[in-house]
Structure 1
Amino acid sequence: MSCSSFGPERMAVTHADLEPSRRSTELGSKTGVLLMVLTILWGLFCFILCLIAEATRSEVTWVGAGNKGNGGKSECVYSGSGKTPLFCAAAAFVGLAIATVVQHTYMLIAVTKSPPSALVNWDSGSAIAKSLSWQAGFFFVTTWICFSVGEILLLIGLSVESGHLKNWNRQRPSCLIIREGLFSAAGVFSLATVFFAAGLYLTALRAQTVSQELENVRREVLEASALYASPPRSPPLHHMATVARESPISRENHSEQPLFVFPQAFSKHSNLV
């Protein structure tokens, strides 16, 4: 009867099973990937909100008032109250701020809690270290520039659209409106912000992966050098001692040998005397 009948079958253990699962605070974890995907989708949603605000932004119609002989003045009337573009711009403003803060906070926590080897074991003069450093700096600065410009444009749109919520259909001597394309530009900067932040995340993940690979190579080199630096000792030698008309006697080469050896042949000759 086979041994498999006495118990459950054993499953083969692979290298992937032996690897420890990534924590949620690590860069390459499922939580990090899911968070980056959600923030990119939220950036797309902010872009759509900006397009809606651009399509529904308030416009101005000029109408004449008074007699022409008296030098009649022209007055303006808004095309709407501006509630729809105001709501869309406000949602995009808050959403972009939340997405950016969440992305950078997660990356800061992940880098802080990463192993020390992934942070300090870098050769600053190597080409790959310089390349990754330049990429990280570029993505970081560009992300915050796009975020700042996008938020400023949205803030301008909010202040203008909120100025005529009441009595918007009343004629006014002057009307303040948003120039065409302001909300669209804010949407483009919002979308660029989340994509540049995702590029910064990928750069940090690439740097951590390269650092871990270098650490593994360094560990293997140290283990190999330690192995070949101290070769294993040879086993103790066995010497064969022979005596006339007797079988050979085997003894080990010890550091301390007996002072007197009485072979059997010597004892036989002594009996004859």
Structure 2
Amino acid sequence: MPKRRAVTHADLAPSPPGTELGSKTGISLIVLTILCGLCCFILCLIAEATRSQMTWESKGSEGKENECVYSGSGKTPLLCSAIAFVGLAVTMVVEHMYLLIAISQSPPLALGSWDTDASPVKSLTWQAGFFFVTTWICFAVAEILLLIGLSIESGHLKNWSRPRPTCLVIKEGLFSAAGVFALLTVFLAAGLYLTALRTQKVSEQHENVRREVLEASALFVSPPGSPQLTTIPRENPIRSRDIQQQPSLAFSSAFTKHSNAV
């Protein structure tokens, strides 16, 4: 007989929707973003290894006029750099669009009641700003380097073996630098996502503490309920004047009886 696992509260709790920070969709997207960055880095290394080079050939018997010849057509580095260029751009757009949608659909952050001089608030603010700025800087540098490589490698696809007076080639390390910046871009984007997730969790904890404090203060400030006096009507109410006359009537009747007996 297979053993049955006990049902816990975590099993009964509803799973967060896909457009919420910390959901399975968000974590999967971050992992996919890092994998795409690694693929772009590998493609940049392939483009660096297969980049076009040039050699000089002497023309004429005296060798006064020289012409250059490319070592290849540049199709392989062009294809690899083009895939890395488009893949990195799509990855960044998808990751930031999901982050914006998740933040817009999440509960509002309780930032208005935070102390801006507190160290956690300053730390989260600086971290978010750092990751956001550095992510876009690294992305821009990687895309510019890849665009330079694309423009140079696409200039000699045809007749690449024909000698020519000038040859444009890519300097060594350009594609490698683009791959490094692409890798930094995806890791910094993941750091930005984690910072946003941490900010939301800290905001939820702060809101829960504030709600508990308000409930406790309302409980102690409110006055205790005073007992209510209810008036019960009587069928034959006795007037105060009748109550005062009853002793005198009893005394007069007793005196009359005593006189008759004498």
TM bin (shorter chain): 0.7 to 0.9
Q: Corresponding residue for 1:140?
A: 132
* Higher alpha-carbon Rg: 2
User: Which structure shows the bigger proportion of residues in helix conformation?
Assistant: 2
Residue of 36, 43, 47 corresponding to 2:30: 36
- Residues 121 and 215, structure 1, Cα contact 8 Å, conserved in 2: no
Give the whole-Å Cα distance in 2 for the aligned partners of 1:161 and 1:118: 52
Q: Corresponding residue for 1:229?
A: 221
List runs of 5+ in structure 1 lacking aligned partners. 1-10, 237-252, 261-272
Q: Corresponding residue for 1:22?
A: 16
SS at match of 2:22: coil
- Residues 56 and 68, structure 2, Cα contact 8 Å, conserved in 1: yes
- Residues 109 and 203, structure 2, Cα contact 8 Å, conserved in 1: yes
- Residue 157 of structure 2 corresponds to residue 165 of structure 1: yes
- Residues 66 and 73, structure 1, Cα contact 8 Å, conserved in 2: yes
Cα deviation for residue 233 of structure 1 reads 4.4
- Residues 110 and 206, structure 2, Cα contact 8 Å, conserved in 1: no
Q: Deviations over 1:216-248 (max 9, x none)?
A: 111111122222333654879xxxxxxxxxxxx
- Residues 121 and 211, structure 1, Cα contact 8 Å, conserved in 2: no
- Residue 48 of structure 2 corresponds to residue 54 of structure 1: yes
Give the whole-Å Cα distance in 2 for the aligned partners of 1:216 and 1:15: 20
- Residues 46 and 190, structure 1, Cα contact 8 Å, conserved in 2: yes
Cα deviation for residue 15 of structure 1 reads 3.6
Q: Corresponding residue for 1:154?
A: 146
Structure of greater relative contact order (alpha carbons < 8 Å, 6+ residues apart): 2
List runs of 5+ in structure 2 lacking aligned partners. 239-253, 255-262
Give the whole-Å Cα distance in 2 for the aligned partners of 1:133 and 1:161: 42
What code does the residue aligned with 1:35 have?
Answer: L
- Residues 74 and 173, structure 1, Cα contact 8 Å, conserved in 2: yes
User: Which of 120-129 and 155-164 deviates more?
Assistant: 120-129
Q: Corresponding residue for 2:106?
A: 114
- Residue 179 of structure 2 corresponds to residue 187 of structure 1: yes
Q: Corresponding residue for 2:92?
A: 100
Equivalent pairs counted in the alignment come to 234
Normalized against structure 2, the TM-score is what? 0.82
- Residues 16 and 23, structure 2, Cα contact 8 Å, conserved in 1: yes
Normalized against structure 1, the TM-score is what? 0.79
Aligned identity (percent) is: 70
Give the whole-Å Cα distance in 1 for the aligned partners of 2:110 and 2:146: 39
What code does the residue aligned with 2:219 have?
Answer: L
Give the whole-Å Cα distance in 1 for the aligned partners of 2:217 and 2:110: 23
Where do residues 197-216 of structure 1 align in structure 2 (5 Å cutoff)?
A: 197-216=189-208
Aligned Cα RMSD in Å?
2.4
- Residues 85 and 147, structure 2, Cα contact 8 Å, conserved in 1: yes
User: Which of 219-228 and 32-41 deviates more?
Assistant: 219-228
Q: Deviations over 1:147-168 (max 9, x none)?
A: 0000000000000000111111
Cα deviation for residue 88 of structure 1 reads 0.1
The structure-2 alpha-carbon separation of the partners of 1:218 and 1:159, relative to structure 1 and needing over 3 Å to count, comes to: same
What code does the residue aligned with 1:178 have?
Answer: I
SS at match of 2:147: helix
Give the whole-Å Cα distance in 2 for the aligned partners of 1:26 and 1:215: 18
